[in-house]
Structure 1
Amino acid sequence: MKVGYIGLGLMGRPCAMHLHNAGHQLAVYARRETSAAPFAEIGATICATPAEVAVNADVIFTNVSDTPDVEQIILGKDGIIEGIKPDAVVVDMSTISPVVTRDIAQKLKEKGAHMLDAPVSGGSAGAESGTLSIMIGGEEAIVERIMPLFEVMGSNIVHIGDNGAGQVTKACNQIVITQTIAGVAEAYCLADAMDVDKAKVRQALLGGFANSKILEMHGQRMLDDNYDPGFKAVLHKKDMNMVLQAASALGVALPGSGVATQWLNALVGDGSGELDSSAIYKVMKKFNQA
């Protein structure tokens, strides 16, 4: 297929490379030349604007930081909508507002194009290995058309429902992950306070009902004091603030999410927003030693 990719950061870069390696024709756009450079070396078309990507592709993936960025890239000046072809598909793999997602989908539909929201989970490790969990909202027929591309990037691919459903699912994903990271950090703080070996605590918990990917991966990061970002805390904070805003608008009580988000706020406020969100433990430990 003729594929476009916009957003070549920690997540987008390996996803786009997987698409190229699978034999698809690739056109890319990045705000920084250094991000696009590896793709110039492999013969991808380097575009000057998102609109130019749309001219060169039948399927355009976007993977950027926040809702306003997605709106600008798709609907703004020199945006995808200015170059999109009839029956082309925009696949947004960012984590953004479901409400805005539905609005963008409608505007693309008016142009004769389609949209899927397809946020992911699995972090940079999942992106590198092509094993992401992909949660999709949009028309079933369009999902089936794009499935061969999804299968290059992910191993757990679920069509949830109509436009916006993927973003709602990602919000649910972030609720579970954030509270679980905070729970592991709290467990380690208790072990610290009682002078018990955290590594052995983790080993024991991995064999029981407390076992989880978070305990396995993030729990090890905490033990190693290694917070190189798989997913930056500042982006995690953005996602959880979006969750809480939606909950407030709907009158849904999410008290656990509120508490866990405060740990992310503290981490970012401490100047550590570029670290992995498992560094919640670092802030929690500092708080408990105060």
Structure 2
Amino acid sequence: MLTKDTKIGFIGTGVMGKSMVLNLLSAGYPVAVYTRTKEKAQSLLEQGAAWKDSVAQLAAESEVIISIVGYPQDVEQVYFGENGIIENANTGTYIIDMTTSKPSLAKEIYNKAAEKGIHALDAPISGGDIGARNGTLAIMVGGDQVAFDTVYPIFEAMGSNIVLQGEAGAGQHTKLSNQIAIATNMIGVCEAIVYAKKAKLDPVRVLDTITTGAAGSFSLSKLGPRMIEGDLAPGFYVKHFIKDMKIALESAEEMGLSTPGLALSLQLYEELAEKGEEDSGTQALIKLFDSSI
């Protein structure tokens, strides 16, 4: 049974990870962090987080290990090999990858961890920088019920909609479903705002109305205002959304599923990235539709 004295190791302190660590610290958990660039974790160290010099050290000294890194290859580097989590974590450790990654990779981590008596969960998230800051993330989990129940209080420090979706890999499949839904929605949000402007309406007033109706969505209510203001700061990077869409498209093709909306959104976001916006927030898509921004 885990307690508030449970030692948590956290790998990855980007836009989302930093706020997640702060929420874990606020909940009273001792948290150690590791990231490739120590300077990026400095503000967390000032808030009480401990620093570990390597993935191996963090893994050996933690009872629960959480990772949220960039790409599937980063996940592989963190979890596998002689310096990785699985090789260095103790029997009985809980490892939770919250990166959006491949379902097949989540299953591989689960199987290799099980061979060492380590409990693995895949638990990608949704809610952006706002959800991470407020501790209201949606957390989509794949793995065993007992492991899920054990670490549930830790999830509660970071999210408010926490659901075990099924066996290993199910969390990743759920997140990919989430990204597919967002992909075409973002196109619609951009087109709606541009349409309102062309019709000589106040787009802010329009959003105040349509966000409460059938068109309502997180993208419309949270990212729509940022689009209107020209605020392109990343709550979620364009480059990471492209990565997610590519994984989703690959997974859909493996299942024989056609996703034309997803393919169109990926095409538009790749065009956006080519224009130098890969480190902008996903709301920067509006720039392809509105030259005034």
- Who is 1:79 aligned against? 84
Post-superposition offset of 1:222: 1.2
In the alignment, is the contact (CA less than 8 A) between 2:82 and 2:88 conserved in 1?
Answer: no
Equivalent of 1:59 in 57, 64, 68: 64
**91-100 vs 38-47, which deviates more?**
38-47
Q: Does 1:171 align with 2:185?
A: no
Post-superposition offset of 1:43: 4.3
Query: What SS class does the counterpart of residue 271 from structure 1 fall into?
Result: helix
In the alignment, is the contact (CA less than 8 A) between 1:74 and 1:81 conserved in 2?
Answer: yes
Query: What SS class does the counterpart of residue 127 from structure 1 fall into?
Result: helix
Matches within 5 A, 1:169-248: 169-248=174-253
Equivalent of 1:18 in 18, 23, 48: 23
Q: Does 1:143 align with 2:148?
A: yes
**Structure 2 regions of 5+ residues with no counterpart?**
1-5
**87-96 vs 200-209, which deviates more?**
200-209
Change (3 A) 1:200 1:162: same
Post-superposition offset of 1:25: 2.0
In the alignment, is the contact (CA less than 8 A) between 1:175 and 1:257 conserved in 2?
Answer: yes
Aligned-partner residue type, residue 225 of structure 2? Q
Q: Output one character per residue of 1:39-85: Cα deviation in whole Å (capped at 9) or x when no partner.
A: 43344331111111111111100010110101100113411122111
Q: How many Å separate the matches in 1 of 2:207 and 2:279?
A: 26
In the alignment, is the contact (CA less than 8 A) between 1:3 and 1:60 conserved in 2?
Answer: yes
Q: How many Å separate the matches in 1 of 2:208 and 2:130?
A: 22
Aligned-partner residue type, residue 81 of structure 2? G
Q: How many Å separate the matches in 1 of 2:14 and 2:272?
A: 22
Q: Does 1:46 align with 2:51?
A: yes
Equivalent of 1:111 in 109, 116, 120: 116
In the alignment, is the contact (CA less than 8 A) between 1:136 and 1:161 conserved in 2?
Answer: yes
Post-superposition offset of 1:116: 0.4
Post-superposition offset of 1:223: 1.0
**Structure 1 regions of 5+ residues with no counterpart?**
none
Query: What SS class does the counterpart of residue 15 from structure 2 fall into?
Result: coil
In the alignment, is the contact (CA less than 8 A) between 1:137 and 1:162 conserved in 2?
Answer: yes
**182-191 vs 267-276, which deviates more?**
182-191
Sequence identity percentage: 38
Q: How many Å separate the matches in 2 of 1:257 and 1:28?
A: 35
Aligned-partner residue type, residue 54 of structure 1? A
Question: Please, what TM-score do these two structures have when normalized by structure 1?
Answer: 0.95
Query: What SS class does the counterpart of residue 106 from structure 2 fall into?
Result: helix
Query: What SS class does the counterpart of residue 270 from structure 1 fall into?
Result: helix
Q: How many Å separate the matches in 2 of 1:126 and 1:203?
A: 21
Equivalent of 1:128 in 109, 126, 133: 133
Post-superposition offset of 1:265: 0.9
In the alignment, is the contact (CA less than 8 A) between 2:97 and 2:124 conserved in 1?
Answer: yes
Root-mean-square deviation (CA, aligned residues, Å) is 1.5
Aligned-partner residue type, residue 63 of structure 2? D
Aligned-partner residue type, residue 45 of structure 2? A
In the alignment, is the contact (CA less than 8 A) between 1:234 and 1:273 conserved in 2?
Answer: yes
Query: What SS class does the counterpart of residue 11 from structure 1 fall into?
Result: helix
Query: What SS class does the counterpart of residue 160 from structure 2 fall into?
Result: strand
In the alignment, is the contact (CA less than 8 A) between 1:233 and 1:272 conserved in 2?
Answer: yes
Query: What SS class does the counterpart of residue 210 from structure 1 fall into?
Result: coil
Q: Output one character per residue of 1:238-280: Cα deviation in whole Å (capped at 9) or x when no partner.
A: 1001111111222100011111111211111110111111111
Q: Output one character per residue of 1:6-62: Cα deviation in whole Å (capped at 9) or x when no partner.
A: 001111111112212222222211110112323433443311111111111111000
Query: What SS class does the counterpart of residue 270 from structure 2 fall into?
Result: helix
